[in-house]
Amino acid sequence: MEKLQDPVLRRALIDEAEEADRRLRAIQAGVGGNPAKLIVYGVGNNPALEKYLGKSVGAIAEEQNKHHIEAMLDLSVEGNLEVEFLGPDKGSNAEFMAEMMNDYSYTIPGVSDGGAHTKFFCGGSYTTDFLTWLVRDEQVISLEEAHYRLSNLPAKAAGLKDRGVLRVGGAADIVVYDMDSLSIDPPWIGNIEHDFPANEWRRVQRAIGYDVIMVNGVVTFESGKCTGATPGKLLRHGSANA
């Protein structure tokens, strides 16, 4: 709190943000963009700040006649560091994604750090997004190609032997789903759940439309509910028998 109110540090942050926007605009666009475009997503237990919900940091700064970095810092301090900022959804290009998947042999769907930032980002939903967006809705990738990219190719890349495919005598790792029902709940930012040790919180998204998940022929999830079964085996050197 002291640092965010330190005028010297504030000036340095403003100068650095302006320099980054001037010199690294293309890079900034790939990692979130100018902070002025951030949206106030939550204000914690601060009813007086609810008037800012849904507004961009830039719009708030303009109302208050401040630099957007200063407005963001002031809002953070006033909200006792409970204010949440969300980058805008910039959309995606199905045609470009299809080109990467269909024309390049070793492209694997995914996100670089999905699940790493449990409080701020839920990236593990990319599998359902891939199937619903590019296969079902846009129809730019075949179902067979999608299954290969989500299963067999990642297994090969990780050096896992006899995994990622269904064959006689192989491990019965199977996902059964209803394509028409597949969805992500909620679709963008996950809901907060206090299920970490010491009642800490994280963001959770749930997958809809998956009927059964089997590992080694044993049902581990059914209709979205965990069965408690743990039939997985440790793979050494890429194989359960090594």
User: For the chain, what is the mean pLDDT?
Assistant: 90
- The full set of domain ranges for the chain reads 3-86, 94-226
Q: Which two tokens stand for residue 47?
A: 């009813």
Give residue 115's pLDDT.
Answer: 61
Q: Which amino acid is at 93?
A: N
**How much is the pTM?**
0.80
Closest CA to 204 of 188, 227, 225: 188
Angle at CA of residue 14, ends 12 and 20, nearest 5°: 100
- Are the C-beta atoms of 136 and 182 separated by less than 8 Å? yes
**pLDDT top residue among 74 and 161:** 74
Query: What does the pLDDT average to over 160-177?
Result: 92
Q: What is the pLDDT of residues 100-117, one digit of tens each?
A: 999 999 999 988 776 667
